[in-house]
Amino acid sequence: MDSYDVAVIGSGPGGYVAAIRCAQLGMKTAIIEKYATKGGTCLNVGCIPSKALLDSSHHFEDATKHFEDHGIDISGDVKVNLKNMMKRKSQVVEQTTKGIDFLMDKNNITSYQGVGAFKDKTHITIEGEKSIEIEAKHTIIATGSKPASLPFINIDKERIITSTEALSLKEIPKHMVVIGGGVIGLELGQVYKRLGAEVTVVEYMDRIIPGMDKAQSKELMKVMKKQKVKFALSHKVKSVERNGNEVTIKADDKKGKEVEFKADYCLVSVGRKAYTDGLGLENIGVETNDKGQVKVDAHRKTSVDNIYAVGDVVDGIMLAHKAEEEGAMVAEILAGQKPHIDYNLIPNVVYTWPEVASVGQTEEQLKEDKIEYKSGQFPMRALGRSRASGDIDGFVKILSDKSTDEVLGVHMVGARVADLIAEAVTAMEFRASAEDIARMSHAHPTYAEAVKEAALAATDDRALHV
Max intra-chain CA distance, the chain: 69
Nearest to 8 by CA among 97, 119, 137, 94: 137
Distance between terminal CA atoms of the chain?
A: 69
Q: Are strands 230-232 and 236-243 parallel, antiparallel or unpaired?
A: unpaired
d(CA 116, CA 9): 6
Q: Torsion-angle region of residue 10: left (phi > 0), alpha (psi -120 to 50) or beta?
A: left
d(CA 361, CA 205): 20
Q: Torsion-angle region of residue 339: left (phi > 0), alpha (psi -120 to 50) or beta?
A: beta
Q: Are strands 355-360 and 348-350 parallel, antiparallel or unpaired?
A: antiparallel
Q: Respond yes or no: is residue 70 known to be catalytic.
A: no
CA distances from 391 to 339, 340, 394 (A): 40, 38, 9
Report which DSSP code applies to 56. Answer: H
- β partners of residue 32: 9, 112
Which amino acid is located at 225 in the chain? K
CB 261 within 8 A of CB 277: no
CA angle, corner 219, sides to 218 and 221, nearest 5?
70
CB 214 within 8 A of CB 363: yes
Q: Which stretches within 123-206 are classed as H helix?
A: 163-166, 183-194
SS3 call for 431: coil
Catalytic residue among 59, 340, 444, 465: 444
Q: Torsion-angle region of residue 285: left (phi > 0), alpha (psi -120 to 50) or beta?
A: left
SS3 call for 208: coil
d(CA 121, CA 128): 20
Q: Which stretches within 256-369 are classed as H helix?
A: 281-284, 320-334, 363-368
Which positions are annotated as active-site residues? 444
